[in-house]
Chains A and B, each alone.
Chain A
Amino acid sequence: MLVNQFLILAAVLFCIGVYGVIARRNAVMVLMSIELILNSVNLNLIAFALRNGSVDGHIFALYIIAVAAAEVGVGLALVLLVYRNRKSIGLEELSEMKG
């Protein structure tokens, strides 16, 4: 197994996630794309852990999984709040902070 096959797979998933964040309008879909991005980072960390023969990459991956779970919880609570106030979760309607 090459190191690069895992790293390039992670890069492909990362870029698909970036495309999703840019292209999607629905806030829940944007959160799903962010999950794709976080997963690709985890794949990188595990591949490097095997390459270096160290456990540190696993610890980082586990911490990222925990933070991602917290992020999804808070993110969906925010989406729910936005939906309750505006009856819509389209991201283009949240433009108050636009300069």
Chain B
Amino acid sequence: MVAQNIAFGIVAAIMVWGALRVVTVKNVVHAALWLVLVLAGAAAQYVILAAEFVAITQVLVYIGAVMVLFLFGTMLTRARIGAEQELNNNSWWLGVPSAGILLGVITLALVSGFGDEELPKDAAVVTTQEISDQIFGPYLLPFWALSFVLLVAVIGAIVLARKD
């Protein structure tokens, strides 16, 4: 289990560093590229947690589709490619105590709630078959609802973004 912990530590450090860069960097395109690093790190954590199908979906949907959307959005709103000075609010410093207090409270709750409980060792990798058995079995109705959500989102995005 030591190898998993080392992998976790390295990936976690990269993810936290990337996330900090996403919210502090002065350039929108660079922020999008740092976000790619965080999303790839999340995919690696899913592999460590024996969730291969979710990891692959993360890479396909987030790194593939969502990042392209973000880069297109950045381009179409003509954000300058260079650094921007006015990327933060005037009251941006209020976010530091808010996020700090939130982190403190959540960490306190987690430490008192789970302590040093271990994850089950040598757990079997969850296969795609098990996931599809669940989706097309007990979770079929939410799956239909999700299909409609996607349809409505696509139509809504087209209606909003087209030029009359």
Contacts and interface: CB of A to CB of B under 8 A. Distances in A.
Interface of A: 1-9, 11-26, 28-29, 31-33, 35-36, 39, 42-43, 46-47, 49-51, 53, 55-56, 58-59, 61-63, 65-74, 76-81, 83-84, 89-92
B22 A3 contact: no
Interface of A is mostly: helix
Nearest to A65: B61
A22 B49 contact: no
Interface in B128-156: 130-131, 134-135, 139, 142-143, 146, 149-150, 153-154, 156
B49 A46 contact: yes
Given A28-B28, A32-B70, A33-B23, A50 B15 contact: no
A66 B42 contact: no
A32 B123 contact: no
A1 B49 CA distance: 10
A29 B53 CA distance: 28
17 contacts: A1-B118, A2-B114, A19-B96, A22-B95, A24-B92, A26-B28, A49-B49, A61-B51, A65-B57, A65-B61, A65-B62, A66-B149, A74-B156, A77-B158, A81-B161, A84-B163, A92-B90
Contact of B66 (A21, A35, A46): A35
B37 to A, nearest CB: 12
Contacts, number: 249
Contacts of B53: 58, 62
Interface residues of B, number: 88
Nearest to A13: B19
A59 B23 contact: no
B65 A69 contact: yes
Contact of A11 (B90, B103, B117, B161): B103
A56 to B, nearest CB: 7
B162 to A, nearest CB: 9
B119 A51 contact: yes
A9 B100 CA distance: 14
A73 B28 CA distance: 18
Contacts of B32: 32
B106 interface: yes
A62 B98 contact: no
Given A16-B19, A23-B92, A50 B70 contact: no
